[in-house]
Amino acid sequence: MPRLAVLAAAAFTLSAAATRTEAQTFQENDLLLTRAERTDFRETTRYDEVMEIARLFAERSPDIHLTTFGYTMEGRALPLLVVGAPDASAAAVRATGKTRVYLQGDIHAGEVCGKEALLMLLRRYASGVYPAWADSVVLLVAPIYNADGNERIRLDNRPRQNGPIGGMGQRPNAQGLDLNRDHTKLDSPEAHAFVRLLNDYDPHVVVDLHTTNGTHHAYQLTYAPPLHPNTPVGIDRFLRVRWLPELTERIREKHGWEYYYYGNAQRTPDGGQGWYTFDHRPRFQNNYVGLRNRIGILSEAYAYLTFEDRVRATLWFVEEVVDFAAQNATRIRDITTTADRERVVGRDLATRADFLEGEQVTIRMGEVDRERNPFSGEVVLRRRDVSEPTRMTDFGAFRPTETATAPEAYYILPEAEEAIVRTEAHGITVVRYANARRVSAEQFVVDSTVVADGEFQGRRERTVWGRWEPVTLELPAGTAYVSVDQPLGRLAFTLLEPRSDDGFLAWGILDASVEKGSLPVLRVAAIRR
């Protein structure tokens, strides 16, 4: 266990606007600095240090409680710090009736600014910087989600990123899986832990903290709402019309920095320029959370800011997210409750999607300088302070390219045990039939199927073509009945509809049955009203 220095002064300068300086509050509370702060942002905090700081927070602050919510593949317990509830249990958190905000760092463990910012946020909380938050919100803070990846420090991970120059962790977990592609198939223990946390604590808001790759733009940080076209409209509107614009305005006023929607500048099909967001599929966390009727927010600090500035950008982002959540706590709960009550049965929902061509927008493009990591000699890039307004077409949202009518329910045959177990793991209500029964349903007749040549995330992705046809059959005992008329109906549809581009069939989870020529998923068509 490394020994942590207990310092009395802050290495991290605060905005002049802060009413109490951190230096004062440290002297009062004697709380710990992160490894990043102690090393002038040359290094990033290790797992054991995160655990030690977390224990000290919980020991020294009556408002902060520490628990764990699962394990990594290598058996590291995943810390969860709970703020604003009498204890760290899900029951106590839910019983507060407050708006629950989950903040996660380090899903990609080379993108470490979120982990550092969350530890600093907690210290600032314990120092009394945010006195009003606990009145209306409970914070659920998971600073080091990909803990195994965090410990695989190398100086050549994320080679062009501007630090930490003493090295950072790797993108995948110990299985070699990208945890931000695992939210539907659930092949990692970390993703299992995360969906269990969602089922138990049910956060209304989920914030996932990253660092960018790609375009040299001028924004200090970019963000994204859930991008799947099946996201409840109320969530999409609230984020795009109010929350994200207001947050952007406040950052500009308080700190003079520019935040905007995540994107990369790319050629459009007609030869113009477009600002393209990433992907609508729920394998990505923010999209997954949206399909669960909750408010997912992706944050991407700009990779070519210095490490210290990325931590600062992320800390400011998270502060504004929580401030807004605290000021709009009731409205947020209303929006998620309304989404839970919205019946999707009989509605045409997207099974596949593509970028929606939007309006012309002005994007602030940037430039970078090359410099060298003094310890490895390798080239890293640094953001230059220029901002070049550039007009381009917005591709920040998705439209359906194929839809299916959401059925009343699905049946999953017992031969597809892996699909049943995963459906249950997602928190979807599943009823298992104790006895065989004869039913009228629809079966998907496969015309053709294609399996991807290469592996992706340890699996070979599959596509099927075919059609639903009526059938009368005897369902064996052990068949799972999955109603779509439940709060997680949107998610059940995405996981079980055969043409879904991020469902169990697409991930090869139903391969054994498909190879035999039949699908183990049937459906009960919606009655058109």
Residue 167 CB, nearest approach to Zn ion (Å):
17
- Binding to Zn ion (CB under 5 A) within 186-225 occurs at 210
Output the smallest distance, CB 456 to Zn ion, in A: 17
Question: What's the min distance (Å) between Cβ of 220 and Zn ion?
Answer: 16
- In the complex, the smallest distance separating the C-beta of residue 256 from Zn ion, rounded to whole angstroms, is 26
Does 490 engage in binding with Zn ion (CB under 5 A)? no
Stretch that binds Zn ion, among 45-53, 109-117, 456-464, 504-512 (CB under 5 A): 109-117
Q: Largest Cα–Cα distance of the chain, in whole Å? A: 74
At its nearest, how many Å lie between Zn ion and the CB of residue 90?
27
Cβ-based nearer residue to Zn ion, 35 or 108: 108
Rg of the chain taking only CA atoms, in angstroms: 24
The residue among 262 and 410 lying less far from Zn ion, judged by its C-beta, is 262
Tell me how far, at minimum, the Cβ of 454 lies from Zn ion, in Å.
Answer: 22
Q: For residue 442, give every residue at least 6 positions away whose Cβ sits within 8 Å of its Cβ, in sequence order, or none.
A: 407, 468, 469, 470, 471, 522, 523, 524, 525
Cβ proximity to Zn ion, 104 vs 184, nearer residue: 104
> Which residues in 337-356 contact Zn ion (CB under 5 A)?
none
Identify which of residues 71 and 278 has a Cβ nearer to Zn ion in the complex.
Answer: 278
Helices (H) and strands (E) counted in the chain, each on its own, are: 16, 20
Pick the binder of Zn ion from 35, 76, 108, 185 (CB under 5 A). Answer: 108
Least CB distance to Zn ion at residue 395 (A): 20
Residue in the block written with tokens 């003094």 = 374
Question: Nearer Cβ to Zn ion, position 180 or 443?
Answer: 180
Of 138 and 179, the one with the shorter C-beta distance to Zn ion is: 179
Rounded distance between C-alpha atoms, residue 176 and residue 178, angstroms: 7
Q: Which of residues 71-100 bind Zn ion (CB under 5 A)?
A: none
CA distance 262 to 221: 8
Size of the site for Zn ion (CB under 5 A): 3
Cβ 433 to Zn ion shortest distance, Å: 42
Contact 223, 486 (CB under 8 A): no
Q: Name which of 112 and 122 has its Cβ closer to Zn ion.
A: 112
CB of 111 to Zn ion, least distance (A): 5
Q: Which residues contact 153 (CB under 8 A, 6 or more apart)?
A: 44, 46, 166, 167, 168, 169
Query: Measured from the CB atom, is 214 or 346 closer to Zn ion?
Result: 214
Of 103-111, 159-167, 361-369, 472-480: span binding Zn ion (CB under 5 A): 103-111
> What's the min distance (Å) between Cβ of 108 and Zn ion?
4
Q: Residue 172: name the closest of 108, 113, 114, 115 by CA.
A: 108
Q: Which residue, 111 or 236, has its beta carbon nearer to Zn ion?
A: 111
- Rounded to the nearest 5 degrees, what angle is found at the Cα of 296, between the Cα atoms of 418 and 47? 75
User: Segment near Zn ion (CB under 5 A), from 104-112, 189-197, 305-313, 423-431?
Assistant: 104-112
Return d(Cα 343, Cα 88) in angstroms, integer. Answer: 33
**DSSP of 375-411, one letter per residue?**
TT--EEEEEEEEEEEEEEEEE-EEEEEEEEE--SEEE
Q: Which residues fall within 8 angstroms of residue 5, CB to CB, at 6 or more apart? A: 33, 38
Of the pair 128, 159, the CB lying nearest Zn ion is at 159
CA 499, 521, 456: angle at the middle one, nearest 5? 50
Q: Which is nearer to Zn ion, 216 or 422 (CB)?
A: 216
Cβ-contact 238, 295 below 8 angstroms: yes
The nearest distance, CB 345 to Zn ion, in angstroms, is: 35
Tell me the closest approach of the beta carbon of residue 210 to Zn ion, in angstroms: 3
Burial 67-76 (b: 16+ CB within 10 A, else e): bebbbbeeeb
- Least distance (Å) from Zn ion to the CB of residue 110? 8
Contact in structure between 112 and 164 (CB atoms under 8 Å): yes
Query: Distance between CA 7 and CA 37 in Å, rounded?
Result: 10
Q: Which residues contact 193 (CB under 8 A, 6 or more apart)?
A: 69, 70, 71, 78
For the CB of residue 209, give the shortest distance to Zn ion in the complex, in Å: 9
Smallest CA-to-CA distance from 468 within 400, 401, 408 is with 408
Binding mask 28-67 for Zn ion (x = CB under 5 A): ----------------------------------------
Stretch that binds Zn ion, among 59-67, 105-113, 154-162, 231-239 (CB under 5 A): 105-113
Closest to Zn ion by CB, 172 vs 503, is: 172
Q: Which of residues 352-391 bind Zn ion (CB under 5 A)?
A: none
The stretch near Zn ion (CB under 5 A) out of 111-119, 144-152, 307-315, 417-425 is 111-119
CA 81 to CA 143: how far, in whole Å? Answer: 9
C-alpha dist (Å) from residue 41 to 156, 167, 366: 17, 11, 24
- Judged by CB under 5 A, the stretch of 64-72, 106-114, 352-360, 447-455 that binds Zn ion is 106-114
Per the CB < 8 A criterion, the answer to whether 495 and 503 are in contact is yes
Cβ closest to Zn ion, residue 150 vs residue 486: 150
| Cβ closest to Zn ion, residue 111 vs residue 320 | 111
- Helix-strand-coil percent breakdown of the chain, rounded to 5? 30, 30, 40
Strands 437-451 and 462-475: antiparallel
Name the site residues for Zn ion (rule: CB under 5 A): 108, 111, 210
